[in-house]
Chain A
Amino acid sequence: MSYDPADAPAEYPPELSRLPPGRHGLPRDFVIHNQRERLIAGLAEAVAEKGYGGTTIADITRHAAVSRRTFYEHFEGKDECFVAAFDMVIEQLRERVEAAYQAEDEWADGIRAGIAAMLSFLAAEPNLARLAMVEALVAGPVVVERYDAGVQTLLPYLEEGRKGRSKAVLDRLSDSTEEALVGGMVSLVARRIVAGQTDELESLLPDLVEFTLAPYVGNDEAAQIARA
């Protein structure tokens, strides 16, 4: 599955990217919604540029091209805006993974499609990738809790792979198997983003597929599926 950057939440039709002041004839609800999303995109851009710690409200409003007052109509402060941005990225990631997984008949194909969807989204959205996978941890305990919860939502996809396995396989899997697999995958992706290799994330697909499938289908079959 490939991700179309045109769907990117950070990008808007040119006519919306700067709403003229005053009477632009757009419905108020639309403007409010649009402003909020623009602020979120503005924050993502500012954070990508200066890191979370260095980002100020002025940076966010400049990138979003809205007034400071507008910012405070939507958010109490930087932290709240960041949490909203984080939640939005995780929701988008979750939706893409879910859709890709559900589109496949076989479990192993679904896992591969889900990982591919995650990697292609992050590669296409380097600012959002950095925000969700790296800066989120720096942003403080509230976001760390959400980060953990976001990672945990990936566990059921792998747990599904236990169904119909032989007793020998099931005996080998432990309570922490899925956590270790998801944790390993997420930490590798985060390391690549930290290293500034976000555009190469999709090349990790075979490695991650092999790594996550192996405990369920065995090393050899996992390698075959990964390199198919």
Chain B
Amino acid sequence: MRPPPGRQRLSREFIARHQRARIVAALAEETMARGYRAVTVADIVRRAGIARNTFYDNFSSKEDCFLATQDFAVEESLQRVVDAAAKADGWEARTVAGLGAFLRYVSDEPALARTCIVEALSAGEAAQERYEQSLQAFIPLLRKGREYSDHGDDLPDTLEETIVGGIFWVIYRRIVLGEAERIESLLPDLVDFALTPYIGAESAQRATARL
């Protein structure tokens, strides 16, 4: 295939990916600024500095773009969590590292965090479902803790769901209250909350004391 006219050296694929990322970032910024419901495709297009056609080349609607934004943020944050956890030794340390990486992501990306943790809940059924699925991704990481627990078999079946739900609720509240930038300071409390059911209060405290 012949390259497009002009001095373009970037592959079509790269440009397409880059465009999508820019549109997603624009949606998140607009959502943070005015709330998802009030955001129009025109707002997104203006913020991203692209043509309206380019938006529709990538997404069928504002809703479609919102779901893509959720996918983008979930994938990126989960990647950070997994990378951080992989560098640590043992389940305890991996949980601490993973949770730390997640909180850092939330504070580094306030627009994406607000969009995906707060606005997603009221952005319609599909968005809500996507949100629930994203929480689900954290469950197996935590569930590993049962192998390191003296009473792993006796723990309630729903434990991971309640821990993840609780952590997300605390983060949600901080964002709603406009305290997203202080979110990393929650790390010791949330680590303690997540580890205690598995390894007991004393061991969990030893893990948080190092933070």
Residues of A within 8 A of B (CB): 51, 53, 134, 137-141, 144, 148, 151, 172, 174-177, 179-188, 191, 194, 204, 206-208, 210-211, 214-215, 218-219, 223, 226
Q: Which residues of A contact B190 (CB under 8 A)?
A: 176, 180
Q: Kindly state whether residue B56 has any CB partner on chain A within 8 Å.
A: no
Residue of A nearest to B198 (CB): A219
CB distance from B99 to the nearest CB of A (A): 12
Q: B80-114 vs A: 1/0 string, CB under 8 Å?
A: 00000000000000000000000000000000000
CB atoms of A141 and B157 under 8 A apart: no
Q: Which residues of A contact B193 (CB under 8 A)?
A: 174, 176-177, 180, 215
A183→B188 CA distance, assembly (Å): 18
Residue pair A191, B170 in contact (C-beta under 8 Å): no
Which residues of the partner chain A approach B132 to less than 8 Å between Cβ atoms?
191, 194
Of B21-29, B40-48, B65-73, B159-167, the one contacting chain A is B159-167
User: Interface majority SS on A: helix, strand, loop or mixed?
Assistant: helix
SS class of chain B's interface: helix, strand, loop or mixed? helix
Closest A-chain residue to B199, C-beta based?
Answer: A219
Q: Taking the complex as formed, is B210 at the interface, i.e. its CB lies under 8 A from any CB of chain A?
A: no
In the complex, number of A-B residue pairs with CB atoms less than 8 Å apart? 119
Most chain A CB neighbours (cut-off 10 Å) among B151, B190, B192, B200: B192
| A43 to B187 Cα, complex, angstroms | 42
The answer to whether B121 has its CB under 8 Å from any CB of chain A is: yes
Residues of B whose CB lies within 8 Å of any CB of A are: 35, 37, 121-122, 124-125, 128-129, 132, 135, 151, 154, 156-159, 161-170, 172-173, 176, 186, 188-190, 192-193, 196-197, 200-201, 205
Please indicate which of the listed interface residues A134, A148, A188 has the most CB atoms of chain B within 10 Å of its own CB: A188
Contacts of B186 in A (CB 8 A): 176
Given A51-B125, A140-B122, A183-B170, verify A191-B156 contact (CB < 8 Å): no
Q: Which residues of A contact B189 (CB under 8 A)?
A: 174-177, 180
**From A51, A134, A175, A187, contact of B166 by CB (8 A):** A187
Determine if B165 and A210 form an interchain contact, defined as CB atoms under 8 angstroms apart.
Answer: no
Select the residue from A138, A140, A151, A226 with max chain B CB neighbours within 10 A. Answer: A138
Q: 7 A-B contacts, Cβ less than 8 Å apart?
A: A141-B35, A176-B186, A184-B164, A184-B166, A184-B167, A187-B135, A208-B158
Contact across chains for B156 and A187 when beta carbons are under 8 A apart? no
User: How many angstroms between the C-alpha atoms of A191 and B165 in the bound complex?
Assistant: 10
